[in-house]
């Protein structure tokens, strides 16, 4: 089944929480427009699953750890397990995509199996966080097998899971050929670990008042180092990221419950409803009430 999502649910560490229906075939196929997300982007997050992605319309900047990559219409990419990543449209035009987020066990099977050691383990241990593809003859195996897997998920004929597994296996084999003879285990940097831990602190304390000093102290670093890490990985000052996180999270809450705007404002750490409304309008272009009315009306429209 193909999903059209407009949110990414993450836990306290910024790790994506998969939808319940992913078990026991732990894969999700997405067909969406990044502009449909409340944040107008897919915020920085990570997951243990691997991801393959194709931009079907428009251009998107993909943040990978502390780097940014431009993916043009028709181009695709691979994102390895446990990599902090984000997706941001380049402009206001439609930014649609297809993607798979899948557990490596779908391809690898039991740890130590020939499938695990030939397809999955080399990628996990290669040190490569990201690989990009263009629609050319050289990268045809990636596109051909992606298309086969996507159509299998769309049609869901009996036994389609085997077709998906075969196609994803061929994609991973192709990836291994692309990166060979690159070797060396991926070493997560101390700064990357600090980044994930600070995201954990932010989510745990989103409704509380805190500053850069408390945020830096949560991982025993100085404020200046905290500033450097946020700029490197998220390209925002720490408290600007916190402000955006509060607004974006509250926007999703407005559409998922009937709580008063006042209650939502206090729940996400704003001093007053008026302050919340001002901050919300600056970032979202409308008041919380207008946002709720507009989006709930759109959701209720037929078709």
The β-bridge relationship of strands 27-33 and 96-102 is: antiparallel
Which letter does DSSP use for residue 148 in this model? H
List pLDDT tens digits, range 67-79: 899 999 999 999 9
Distance, in Å, from the CA atom of 272 to the CA atom of 263, rounded to the nearest integer, reads 10
Cβ partners under 8 Å of residue 247, min gap 6: 268, 279, 280, 283, 284
Residue 266 burial (C-beta neighbours within 10 Å; 0-12, 13-18, 19+): middle
List pLDDT tens digits, range 212-268: 999 999 999 999 999 999 888 887 899 999 998 899 889 888 888 888 999 999 999
- Checking if the pLDDT of 7 tops 60, the result is no
- Checking if the pLDDT of 136 tops 80, the result is yes
Question: Please, which pLDDT band fits residue 22 given cuts at 50, 70 and 90?
Answer: very low
What local confidence, expressed as pLDDT, does residue 18 receive?
55
What local confidence, expressed as pLDDT, does residue 183 receive?
42
Q: Is the bond preceding 30 in cis, omega lying within 30 degrees of 0? A: no
List pLDDT tens digits, range 68-119: 999 999 999 999 998 889 999 999 999 999 999 999 989 988 777 888 888 8
List pLDDT tens digits, range 165-205: 999 999 999 999 888 644 444 445 788 889 888 988 998 89
List pLDDT tens digits, range 290-303: 988 887 765 443 33
CA 20 to chain centre: 17
The 10 Å Cβ neighbour count of residue 22 is 14
What local confidence, expressed as pLDDT, does residue 185 receive?
40
E strand spans, 103-243: 130-133
Task: Give all domains of the chain, ordered by start, each with its CATH number.
Answer: 2-179 (2.60.120.280), 190-300 (1.10.10.60)
Residue 172, H or E segment: helix 160-179
pTM: 0.68
């Amino acid at each position: 089944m193909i999903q059209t999502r407009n949110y990414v649910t993450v836990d306290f560490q910024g790790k994506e929480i998969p939808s319940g229906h992913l078990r026991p075939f732990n894969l999700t196929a997405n067909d969406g427009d990044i502009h449909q997300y409340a944040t107008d982007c897919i915020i920085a997050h990570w997951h243990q699953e691997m991801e393959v992605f194709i931009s079907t319309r428009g251009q998107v900047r993909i943040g990978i750890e502390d780097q940014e990559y431009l993916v043009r219409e028709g181009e695709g990419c691979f994102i390895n397990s446990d990599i902090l990543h984000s997706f941001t449209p380049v402009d206001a035009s439609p930014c649609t995509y297809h993607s798979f987020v899948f557990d490596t066990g779908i391809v690898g099977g039991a740890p130590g199996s020939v499938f695990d050691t030939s397809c999955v383990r080399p990628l996990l241990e290669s040190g490569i966080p990201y690989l990009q593809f263009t629609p050319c003859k050289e990268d045809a195996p990636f596109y051909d097998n992606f298309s086969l897997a996507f159509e299998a998920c769309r049609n869901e004929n009996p036994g389609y899971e085997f077709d998906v597994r075969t196609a994803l296996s061929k994609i991973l084999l192709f990836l291994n050929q692309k990166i060979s003879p690159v070797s060396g285990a991926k070493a997560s940097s101390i700064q990357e670990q600090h980044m994930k831990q600070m995201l954990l602190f932010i989510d745990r304390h989103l409704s509380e008042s805190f500053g850069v000093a408390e945020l830096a102290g949560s991982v025993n670093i100085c404020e200046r180092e905290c500033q450097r890490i946020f700029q490197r990985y998220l390209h925002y000052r720490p408290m600007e990221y916190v402000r955006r996180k509060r607004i974006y999270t509250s926007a999703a809450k407005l559409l998922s419950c009937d709580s008063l705007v006042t209650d939502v404002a206090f729940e996400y750490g704003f001093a007053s409803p008026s302050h919340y409304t001002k901050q919300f309008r600056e970032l979202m272009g409308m008041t919380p009430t207008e946002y709720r009315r507009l989006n709930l009306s759109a959701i209720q429209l037929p078709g």
